Chain A
Amino acid sequence: MGVQIVVFAVCAIVALLGALGVVFARNPVHSALGLVATLFAIAVLFVNQNAQFLGVVQVIVYTGAIVVLILFVIMLLGVDTDEDLDTEPLLGQRWAAVIVALLLIGGIAGIFFVEGRGEAVTGQVAALAPIVPGIPSTDAQGNPTTAAGVDTFVRALPAEQQQAIGEQNITQIGEHLFTDYVFAFMITAALLTIAVIGAVLMARRPKRYEPMPELEDTSYEDVDELSTTGEVTG
């Protein structure tokens, strides 16, 4: 338990510092690197919670792919263009952001004052029970096990068993991927292929590339409520 808290504290501080760096760094590359630090720290937090798979995926997908993509874009656009922070592209967007942020914080805080908060967050939690084998689907009173119940159960186990459950997660994900969800797995491959073909088709230039002459505007005599005349021809 003691180690867990220390790891949490260290990683939480790193994550927060990274997040502050994203917001306050002048240089967009530094912001991106701050994001890397935050995402890495969160990956460690996942591992700390025995969610090894999630931790690894976090590193591969977010830190590996997405941040690299962001860096790519920054590099292509040029890092030395200074952003003028005094102008608001959209009028009132900062105030709107503050309001939305407060609503979000209030909503999240509100959950903790609702009774049976685990259920409020995750719905019927009996569904969670099979994820960790050995947890009964009902408690002593006969009510379905809640997320809090699952959590209590796992946390009370010795550390090495918690570790084993974490490793079992990966096994189970692998098994599900190649048994129950093998079809979904295969179609995903087809889906990605289609995305590539689509990108090729969209990027291809026809042999004789010249835009069609604008036709007379009869095709946009629109009478329903969603008239699009302005944005199309404008």
Chain B
Amino acid sequence: MSAGILATMASVAQTGIEPISGPIGIEPISAPVDGAVPTPEITWAALLPLIILGLGGLLLLTLSSLLKRKAPRALYPIWTIATAVLAVASVVPVWAKVQGFNSILWWDFRDLWWQPATTAPGPFSTLGGAYGVDGFSLFVTVLICCAVILTTLLISGYLQREELDGPEPYALLLLAATGGVVMAGANDLIVLFLGLETISIAVYVLAASHLRRAQSQEAGLKYFILGGFSSAFFLYGIAMVYGATGTTNLVLIKSSLAESIPRHDLLLLVGFAMLLVGFGFKVAAVPFHSWSPDVYDGAPSPVVAFMASAVKVAGFAALVRVFVAGFGQYAADWQPLIYALAVLSLVVGSSLAIVQTNVKRTLAYSSISHAGFILIAVEAASETGTAAVLFYAAAYTFMVAGSFGVATLVGRAGDGRHSLDDYKGLGRTNPVLAGTLTIFLLAQAGVPFTVGFVAKFYAVIAAVQAGSAALGVVAMLSAVIAAFLYLRIIVAMYMAEGDDGGSDAPADPADHIHVPRPAAAALAICVLVTIGFGLFPGWLTDMAADSTVVLVEQGSTDASTALPGGQTLIVDDEGNLVPAGDGAVAPTEASDPSADPATGDGAVEAPQVQDPAAAEGTASVERP
């Protein structure tokens, strides 16, 4: 809460009912506050991704109930994808503001309506400091939207094949994404918990959404019960941290931890441990992983793609936000815990994966070992580590969505043919599909020239830079073990003979797998990303590095992340990004709407950049 609001409240308090002096000789009790409550300012433009996703989901339901059966089958997936694309588009201007760009490519943001026209470029928070808008949360928002798009492409064919219909899965996807976006930007533990529950409850239902398949129902129930259990731990952890620091707001927690040593250190540490249990469950880190093979096996395959991508990404985003950014002061206390989780996840995940006979279970265990890789980047607790987490999360989203996308198709009607035997001879009967899966598996194994290699590289670099070289060694060794399991599937596809005997037998037409067009599009996107960012990782690396996580109070902007001297980049006449002439930042409030950006004279007077020191000062003020 800003100093201004505090001052207002204090002055209102003085003019109220006459104060009384306390019986034990201390300050008088202030009277109840009269008059209007100072409501928090809301930067709606920054909340647009959230609003678009949530509203898109609700409108989809309304639309479907109005149209009843008359809606064309393609309407729901197209609506869902359009919503997600719109949400990504709405991120762009916010990203520009956070990074201090006036425009990106041809899109000029200077005249864009900002409510309120807040301060200088840089990360900021809104809604009474409950929601932080920084590069980190925006990056994760885009990732989650990508996961929604990929899942929608996969699930549309799936629902048709399984003779399930209705708009609910799509609506739940969009609402789950809303929860994930909330988690990514939550600056308050309560908000974080609500985001976590939003994404979780939607995914519990999605996991059980194959109503005619007992395994799906069972998976949903298992996930629900264990998830509820872990949420309780998480909530208890929040209570402990509140008990130790007196607030649930991460900004205030950070400043309170920086200023004073809590009297009850134990309370805080127990809080850390319990929060980690909750996070560990969501990202399926050993020893909180036991649900994941069963649930991945039973849940509909496209939903598993969503669980392994969006839910994990949101979980890791929240983990980084809370621990690296919020509890950074106590890194020495929680790092050993993450260290242990990472080592266990890497070793147990990759070793148990190689003895599975079911491909979906194998991928589930491999996903556990990937979680271990991301954890070693979290353990670094540095900016490099955060960037590595984001890069890995981005790479993994596409690799895993592709892998489970192929599993969706190979599972065939009934979604039950996932044993390794079902993949035998796939290279002969469906060469394209087998080739696609091979690319994803090789990328997950970390073969060079795929995005998986770059991701593993950065994660290990971050660990080594943070002084955890041993962790890097464990990670690389487990990557070698994991490579075996991916090769095992590849060998089954190409080398092993099918059930029909000799490899030169003509392919049975019944073995040919029908690939719906949307699913083919999803796989194509995943292949492009996997190979493209493997060959040219520069752009994604820069984006991840720019996506720093910053905790700022509402009303202040963290100017330190903007370019030095309040300088900013603008697009000149040739379309190149150049530093603005006289260090000018275009304030949206003062900018002249009629100014033509193309004439190049769009740079107007710089706004009063709030002193970062003053912002720090307000952070320490106790809330009323």
B-binding residues in A (CB < 8 A): 119, 122-124, 126-127, 130, 132-137, 144, 152-153, 156-157, 161, 164-165, 167-168, 171, 174-175, 178-184, 187-188, 190-191, 193-195, 197-198, 200-202, 204-215, 218-219, 221-224, 226, 228, 232
Contact = CB atoms under 8 A, between A and B. Distances in A.
A173 to B, nearest CB: 12
Nearest to A232: B218
Contact of B211 (A133, A179, A205): A205
Interface string B1-33: 100000000000100000110111011111011
Contact of A232 (B22, B215, B356): B215
Given A124-B244, A167-B32, A191 B194 contact: yes
Contacts of A207: 163, 165
Contact of B264 (A124, A201, A211): A124
Contacts of B205: 194, 197-198, 201-202
B474 interface: no
Interface stretch (B84-92, B170-178, B300-308, B480-488): B170-178
Given A156-B23, A161-B29, A209 B263 contact: no
Contacts of B179: 187, 190-191, 194
Given A126-B246, A201-B168, A206-B163, A218 B421 contact: yes
A113 B262 CA distance: 24
A137 B37 CA distance: 25
A90 to B, nearest CB: 19
A179 B24 CA distance: 32
Q: Which of A180, A215, A218, A228 has the most CB of B within 10 A?
A: A180
A214 B356 CA distance: 21
B243 A122 contact: yes
B33 A201 contact: no
B26 A201 contact: no
Q: Which of A124, A152, A200, A211 has the most CB of B within 10 A?
A: A124
30 contacts: A123-B264, A124-B246, A126-B246, A127-B242, A130-B624, A133-B29, A134-B22, A134-B26, A135-B26, A161-B20, A161-B29, A174-B37, A181-B130, A184-B130, A187-B179, A194-B175, A197-B205, A201-B169, A206-B164, A211-B213, A215-B417, A219-B215, A221-B357, A221-B358, A222-B361, A223-B356, A224-B293, A226-B290, A226-B294, A228-B294
Interface stretch (B195-203, B504-512, B529-537): B195-203
Contacts of B128: 179-183
Contacts of A193: 58, 175
A210 B212 contact: yes
Contact of A197 (B28, B54, B61, B297): B61
A170 B379 CA distance: 43
A164 B22 contact: no
B26 A194 contact: no
Given A127-B246, A232-B218, A206 B211 contact: yes
A127 B215 CA distance: 48
A155 to B, nearest CB: 9
Contact of B54 (A165, A190, A211): A190
Interface of B: 1, 13, 19-20, 22-24, 26-30, 32-33, 37-40, 54, 58, 61, 127-131, 163-166, 168-169, 171-172, 175-176, 178-179, 182, 188, 190-191, 194-195, 197-198, 201-202, 204-205, 208-209, 211-215, 218, 240, 242-247, 249, 262-264, 267, 290, 293-294, 297, 352, 355-358, 361, 414, 416-419, 421, 622-624
A198 B211 contact: no
A135 B166 CA distance: 57
A226 B165 CA distance: 34
A25 to B, nearest CB: 31
A212 B182 contact: no
Given A124-B244, A201-B205, A206-B163, A183 B264 contact: no
Nearest to A227: B294
Contacts of B352: 223-224
Contacts of B37: 174-175, 178-179
Q: Which of A136, A152, A197 has the most CB of B within 10 A?
A: A197
B194 A188 contact: yes
A187 B172 contact: no
Contacts of B172: 194, 197-198, 201
A181 B190 contact: yes
A210 B214 CA distance: 11
Given A123-B264, A180-B128, A197-B172, A187 B243 contact: no
Nearest to B210: A212
Contacts of A167: 32
Given A167-B32, A175-B37, A198-B202, A180 B129 contact: yes
Given A183-B188, A184-B130, A215 B414 contact: yes
A166 B332 CA distance: 42
Contacts of B244: 123-124
A218 B37 CA distance: 63
Contact of A212 (B33, B40, B361, B414): B414
Given A165-B29, A171-B32, A180-B128, A197 B175 contact: yes
B40 A182 contact: yes
Contact of B212 (A152, A212, A226): A212
Given A124-B246, A136-B27, A190 B130 contact: no
Contacts of B178: 190
Contact of A180 (B1, B33, B163, B417): B1
Contact of B130 (A164, A182, A211): A182
Nearest to B244: A124
Contacts of A223: 352, 355-356
A214 B213 CA distance: 9
Contacts of B190: 181, 184
Contact of A183 (B127, B204, B242, B297): B127
A152 B622 CA distance: 23
Contacts of A221: 357-358
A184 to B, nearest CB: 5
A206 B262 contact: no
Given A130-B624, A171-B33, A202-B205, A190 B166 contact: no
A153 B40 contact: no
Given A187-B195, A209-B212, 9 more contacts: A122-B243, A134-B30, A157-B23, A167-B32, A178-B37, A182-B39, A190-B178, A201-B168, A202-B211
A35 to B, nearest CB: 24
B294 A219 contact: no
Given A122-B243, A179-B40, A164 B32 contact: yes
Closest 4 CB pairs of A and B: A127-B246, A123-B243, A134-B29, A198-B205
Contacts of A130: 246, 622-624
A163 to B, nearest CB: 12
A157 B188 CA distance: 35
A204 to B, nearest CB: 7
B457 to A, nearest CB: 30
Q: Which of A123, A175, A209 has the most CB of B within 10 A?
A: A123
Given A122-B243, A218-B357, A221-B358, A201 B212 contact: no
Contacts of A213: 414
Contacts of A206: 163-165, 211-212
A71 B32 CA distance: 41
B553 to A, nearest CB: 12
A215 B294 CA distance: 16
